[in-house]
Amino acid sequence: MNPSSRAPPHTQDTQDSSMLVHDVGSDTALPNGHLPERDSAPAARSSAASLFSLAGTTTIVTGGGRGIGQALAKGIAETGGSVACLDILAEPSNGEGEWDAIKKAAAKHGVTASYHVCDITNEERMLETFAEIERTSKGVVRGVVAGAGVQQMVPAIDYPMDGFRRIMEINVAGAFVTAKTSAKFWRDRGIKGSLVMIASMSGEIANRGLTCTAYNSSKAAVHQMCRSLAQEWGPDYGVRINTLSPGYIRTAMTDALLKEKPDLEETWMRGAMLQRLGAPEDLVGPTVFLLSDASAWMTGSDVRVDGGHTASA
Ligand SMILES: NC(=O)c1ccc[n+]([C@@H]2O[C@H](COP(=O)([O-])OP(=O)(O)OC[C@H]3O[C@@H](n4cnc5c(N)ncnc54)[C@H](O)[C@@H]3O)[C@@H](O)[C@H]2O)c1
């Protein structure tokens, strides 16, 4: 039989969540244990449009209480996937109807949207929260977006060490707890999940005019964490891990920086090849791509979405 003409379970166009979990079984393995290359590539068996589908899955979004996390949650629901927002905030932001819009998108697509209060640095609570999400949401938990993070602008020479350590605790240790919780969850259930870690272009460059050494260092650590975890967990569990690195996106985080230093906007606009700063919604397409089978052969990579900012000096 032509290997590519077989129909492995997860490639059929179906709403059944069990069908969407990657499971390249032993029937497809060659005697040497290697997989036939075409057989293991979802794109060789599915229509291009279905590759981007999140139907039948649940995605956990940390930092899903406001800003970029909420925009991603809405986008995921609009793509037909259930979403569980996890954040330290007591309630999701709804000042301009953001949470209502997520619920509405979920209802329209027959999926669930839930909110869970949790500190990403608390490993025990993270494990409990993942289990709670599994019990209450519709669809297999197959995606995690590690979006929770904090920013602080302080000249390095005066940086208080407790402030520096707080940034590392949340942006680095918290991201690691999120990754570890996800990998354990997927390993125990035989799910080949996709983890998208929100890093930043600031993990690769020093932003002109910004005194954010702790933040920038933390995002560089997230880039390296992604590569290290990808090489550990890809071969062992089939888990994929990639970073998404945004440029300047207008959210409460950047509004706080602009409030402190209004002239920054002009500096940022000088690097804006597309003549605008980013909107949280600019990250929806790349996130869905990284979560879905459309990126099935990508792991340990970074997708930079910055309106061209870092491409010019
Ligand atoms: N806005 C930008 O321009 C920009 C650019 C590059 C990268 N990023 C990254 O994108 C992500 C989201 O940023 P944003 O602009 O939406 O910021 P934001 O401040 O609006 O959202 C961050 C969210 O993380 C949550 N959070 C913080 N600490 C937490 C903890 N310990 N446990 C659980 N949740 C916690 C906050 O409550 C908040 O809801 C961050 O990782 C940020 O570093 C943002």
Domain assignment present for 91: yes
Pocket around ligand 1 at a 6 A CB cut-off: 62-63, 65-69, 87-89, 119-121, 147-151, 170, 174, 198, 200, 246, 248-249, 251-254
SS (H, E, C) the chain: CCHHHCCCHHHCCCCCHHHHCCCCCHHHCCCCCCCCCCCCCHHHCCCHHHHCCCCCEEEEEECCCCHHHHHHHHHHHHCCCEEEEEECCCCCCCCCCHHHHHHHHHHHCCCCEEEEECCCCCHHHHHHHHHHHHHHCCCEEEEEEECCCCCCCCCHHHCCHHHHHHHHHHHHHHHHHHHHHHHHHHHHHCCCCEEEEECCHHHCCCCCCCCCHHHHHHHHHHHHHHHHHHHHHHHHHCCEEEEEEECCECCHHHHHHHHHCCCHHHHHHHCCCCCCCECHHHHHHHHHHHHCHHHCCCCCCEEEECCCHHHCC
Domain assignment present for 4: no
The boundaries of the domain holding residue 167 are 57-308
Q: How many domains does the chain have?
A: 1
- Could you tell me the pLDDT band of residue 34, with boundaries at 50, 70 and 90? confident
Domain assignment present for 246: yes
Domain assignment present for 30: no
Domain assignment present for 39: no
Q: In testing the pocket of ligand 1, which one of 150, 171, 287 has its CB within 8 Å of the most ligand atoms?
A: 150
Domain assignment present for 32: no
Lowest-confidence pick of 42-51, 130-139, 157-166, 207-216? 42-51
pLDDT at 19: 37
Residues above pLDDT 90, as percent of the chain? 83
pLDDT over 80 at 16, yes or no: no
Can you tell me the distance from the alpha carbon of 40 to that of 30, in angstroms, rounded to the nearest whole number? 11
Domain assignment present for 87: yes
Q: What digits encode the pLDDT tens for the residues 59-95?
A: 999 999 999 999 999 999 999 999 999 999 999 999 9
CATH number for the domain harbouring residue 303: 3.40.50.720
Can you tell me the distance from the alpha carbon of 264 to that of 282, in angstroms, rounded to the nearest whole number? 21
Whose Cα sits closest to atom 38 in ligand 1? 63
Domain assignment present for 8: no
Rounded distance from Cα 120 to ligand 1 centre (Å): 12
Q: What digits encode the pLDDT tens for the residues 150-192?
A: 999 999 999 999 999 999 999 999 999 999 999 999 999 999 9
pLDDT at 45: 83
